[in-house]
Amino acid sequence: MEVNSIFQKSTIVDEKNSAIALKSGSLPVFATPSMLALMEQTAAEHVKPYLEEGFTTVGISANIKHVSATPIGMKVFCESTLIAIDGKKLIFSVKASDECGLIGEGTHERFIVNAEKFMGRVNSKKA
């Protein structure tokens, strides 16, 4: 993994990722939770090839702003830049744009975990 490496992902805005469908608003536009999910997916996929077998990342924080609405039918592009590595913590700058320009930006942090051990701790909550 290299600091300042960049990864991109895109999606098309549709009814399923709209503010109406996610109940985060009442208009047929790309929902803020959908934008955040795209940012998290982009960051997670960014580093996946560099992780050892049995390891994954989990999101631990996000600080984003949604600055412009995107209508249904338009393509949204997301870019993650790995800006810092602090032990097992990975810090990303994330930006989302539609075909007209910037729609959101911020920072997102992920933590590298052993998937089996992590799920063991999670499942122990059920006991």
DSSP string, 91-118: EEEEEEEETTEEEEEEEEEEEEEEHHHH
Residue 1 has a pLDDT of: 82
What are 59's two structure tokens?
Answer: 């999101």
Residue 44 is classified by DSSP as H
Nearest to 79 by CA among 11, 25, 7, 19: 7
Could you tell me the maximum CA-CA distance found in the chain, to the nearest angstrom? 50
pLDDT in tens, 48-102: 999 999 999 999 999 999 999 999 999 999 999 999 999 999 999 999 999 999 9
Which residues, other chains included, contact 60 with Cβ-Cβ below 8 Å and sequence gap of 6+?
A: 89, 109, 110, 111
120: three-class secondary structure by DSSP: helix
Query: Over 90: is that where the pLDDT of 44 sits?
Result: yes
- Domain ranges for the chain, please list them: 6-126
Q: State whether CATH 3.40.190.10 applies to domain 6-126.
A: no
